[in-house]
Structure 1
Amino acid sequence: MIQPMEIQRTTMKKEKPDQRQLGFGIHFTDHMFIMDYTLEKGWHQPRIVPYQPLSIDPAAKVFHYGQTIFEGLKAYKTEDGRILLFRPQKNLHRLNISARRLGIPPLDEEAALDALQQLVAADQDWVPSEPGTSLYIRPFVIATQAALGVDPSAHYQFIIIMSPVGSYYPEGINPVRIHVESEYVRAVKGGLGEAKTAGNYASGLKAQVSAKENGYSQVLWLDGVHRTYIEEVGSMNVFFKINGTILTPALNGSILDGITRSSIIQLLKHWGIPVEERKISIEELYEAGGHLEEAFGTGTAAVISPIGELNWNDNKLVIHGGRTGELSARLYDALTGIQNGQLPDPFGWMVQVNHEPSDAAITETTR
């Protein structure tokens, strides 16, 4: 059920950054969305307020037991001034999947989508228009009950913040060098691998730092049991082209069900390119040798991230001569073209934002 929205518009507007120097997740818009949860009231009091620090008790369970989930999606401005969201329903549905795994009460997905659209509408002038730019949207839930007992929180906040971001590849998409991680593991089936939660990402930071110290951009994660089956690359899903067939690890309970991943699979099938979702061992890739024609990661931030080299136990495997493959480039152009409205959307992925807030009590504040 969609509850009436309270909107507090700030009169203290921030100075907007140069769209050619945005970076990623550095600048934040004028407003944010907040909604509260208690056992007695459920989810209640949806409101859009000026962007501001949170006031939260030091004993809040999010700090001590990591009960938090998040999502990431983007809004795009088209050449004719429309604002489009890429598959927002999928993100909010996945947020609820993560909520169930973390013992967090589910959100009304229709109401959450309405709130998200109203927030984008309120800060629509923050959606950048330069080529390759977008408005990154971060919905998240945190446990706010002040108690140190190890059990699910009785209080939560659902918050949405937004950040104008630049092109992930300001000089064009270029292949990255990847270290195949053999010491640390990211997740196992039954754990948190398929949930977007902070701990799922914190567990990978040590290996990522080590990889970068050795000249590699990211880590390719192997499964946590056999240490041989490929799972994800960094915080992205991963694909390989071998003898004309596209392979990607099957969802197994420890791999995130990526929205870009599912979109790429739909595109490939739409083009008649064979796709297999199955177990893929690291040995299979190295045995494929020159038949491994391309490799790339997929995710919201980069869309497509070509892989030019793998290093597994000091054995280097160069892919496609270390250059971006034709299919990787075609997928990147097709998906970004759909997202920014320059290409037709045969899948009905894009949702247009209504520029006018609906069913809201609007006030102004100098904060």
Structure 2
Amino acid sequence: MKRHLYSDDHESFRQVVRAFVDREVVGNVERWDDQRLIDREIYVKAGRQGIIGLSTPEEYGGAGQERDYRFRNVVHEEFAKVFATSLSSSFSLHDDIVLPYFAALGTAEQKQRWLPSLASGESIGAIAMTEPETGSDLRGIKTSGERVEGGWVVNGSKTFISSGQQADLVIVVVRTDPGGGSRAFSLLVVERGMEGFTRGRKLAKVGLHGQDTSELAFEDVFVPDGNLLGAAGGGFGQLVTKLPIERLSIGAQAIAIAEGIFASTLEYVQQRHAFGKPISDFQNTRFELASMSAELDVTRAFIDRCIVAHGLDELSAVDAAKAKLWATEVQVRTVDRCVQLHGGYGFMLEYPVGRAYQDARVQRIHGGTSEIMKEIISRDLVGR
């Protein structure tokens, strides 16, 4: 079935992304995984090509495509074709999560101060929500911001922070009202070099090895008034408004990766022989391929619909939760079935499917677990 998602402009952009991938990405994917870190320089190179900063307003050096997620989806698809999962996830954090916070909540001065360097890739952003004792329960956050003259003093710790080692600007979710309630939290921007801000371990993960994930600590870190992002006490509401695009991003990446692994597996089973004939000649293989193909096409149709809805400002939190829930479950199932079709070679990291198997599992956890997505959907259906 022909897709009608893209225009000529999107396909022209695809050629730019494809050339960038061939030139800057393909030869580095395994090295980034081995060194457990993506080179900072790739952000700057992507910025020069207009591959990051897509959602940033043009006056701040971006492409001004906040509503048209199709350009970002092209990046997902082209990265997935070469199995650059860690880079794709890192760019998604930067473009789909961090930059929209600054663009939507920043004052004119803050936008001028931060957005140009983020859009160009000269600065790397991160967002620090999760704490050692709080995962999906954001209301349990303990990192505190005590009001003092001219700003806040921040104390606490965060964990599982993507790009935590490299980030120059970290949006930190801080409890600024000890009394609690929906107005308990604020977003404070902690900058590289602030006294008392330290980075702990670069965490050893099951997958996504190239993307650094870290612990962060804040000990009497003074954050000036000028680094309050949005309204004081508005943090929780601000987080909620940005969750749909984060979940669309994860869902879009999930289906792109699943399609990439399926394509490589389809090629593999036609080349690999067992009992004197290609694996693809066995009925079980053909039926597995048929089932996966149908599931991927149906999933792609829903994700495409969500992308269009986002462009019309009609993507609901519930539909975003459905996209994230379903696409990540499909990704995990597809990769697992593709490993099985590879046999023993599917468990080898020299094959893309082996690395994809490692990388896929976290998709059902970060950005809100599958269980949280089901809770969101079920509340819409039958209430609390």
> Normalising TM by the smaller chain, what interval?
under 0.3
User: TM-score with structure 1 length normalisation?
Assistant: 0.26
User: TM-score with structure 2 length normalisation?
Assistant: 0.25
Q: Which has the higher contact order (CA 8 A, sep 6+)?
A: 1
More strand by share: 1
